[in-house]
């Protein structure tokens, strides 16, 4: 490789790296006592469709909530996450699939959310098979419906 070709190759690699960095998006999910639709104890928005490498920030707009991955409801190889009560956490999702999460204290009141990373269609059925408390199950079913419909 001559010098010009080498310089071009390095320049191209740097541009590709920059482009990958620039395309990673950040999303925000608020943890609320009351949603805009008057439902109580909600994640807003409850459903997100993001791309691998994107980051989701869980914000304790109202205190006393947290965000925790529901055991058995994240893709194989993905890292489970768990924030403390009233703690803001940022989670970068790299493994494609379906991520169900909950607020630990309000799980029984149906405070759950869902994130689809990349194409998560194959993760919908396994996630739907996870047993949840009745109110959480009802909301999760709607969210999984959105994921099944392609987000
Ligand atoms: Cu909560």
> What is the pLDDT at residue 65?
98
Residue with more model confidence, 13 or 68: 68
- Report in angstroms the alpha-carbon separations of 147 from 10, 29, 74, 127: 40, 17, 14, 11
- Burial category of 136 from C-beta neighbours within 10 Å (exposed 0-12, middle 13-18, buried 19 and up): buried
Distance 66 CA to ligand 1 centre (A): 6
Provide the whole-model pTM: 0.85
* 3-state class (DSSP) for residue 32: strand
* 3-state class (DSSP) for residue 108: helix
pLDDT greater than 90 at residue 17: no
**21-46 tens-digit pLDDT:** 567 999 999 999 999 888 999 999 99
CA distance 130 to 44: 22
Residue with more model confidence, 11 or 131: 131
> What is the pLDDT at residue 6?
55
Distance 118 CA to ligand 1 centre (A): 27
> What is the pLDDT at residue 23?
79
Distance 6 CA to ligand 1 centre (A): 55
- Least reliable range by pLDDT among 22-36, 50-64, 81-95, 102-116: 22-36
CA distance 95 to 78: 6
Q: Are 86 and 64 in contact (CB under 8 A)?
A: yes
Distance 48 CA to ligand 1 centre (A): 18
Distance 59 CA to ligand 1 centre (A): 11
**What are 80's two structure tokens?**
């489970």
* Average pLDDT, rounded, for the chain: 91
pLDDT greater than 90 at residue 75: yes
Distance 64 CA to ligand 1 centre (A): 6
């Amino acid at each position: 490789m001559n010098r010009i070709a080498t310089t071009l190759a390095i320049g191209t690699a740097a541009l590709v790296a920059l482009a990958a960095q620039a395309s990673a998006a950040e999303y925000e999910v608020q943890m609320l006592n009351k949603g805009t639709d008057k439902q109580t104890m909600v994640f807003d928005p409850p459903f997100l469709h993001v791309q691998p490498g994107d980051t989701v920030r869980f914000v304790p707009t109202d205190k006393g909530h947290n965000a925790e991955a529901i055991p058995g409801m994240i893709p194989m190889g993905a890292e489970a996450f768990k924030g403390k009560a009233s703690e803001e956490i940022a989670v970068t999702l790299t493994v494609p699939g379906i991520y169900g999460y909950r607020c630990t204290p309000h799980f029984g009141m149906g405070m759950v959310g869902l994130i689809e990373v990349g194409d998560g269609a194959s993760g919908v059925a396994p996630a739907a098979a996870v047993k949840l408390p009745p109110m959480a199950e009802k909301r999760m079913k709607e969210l999984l419906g959105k994921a099944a419909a392609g987000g």
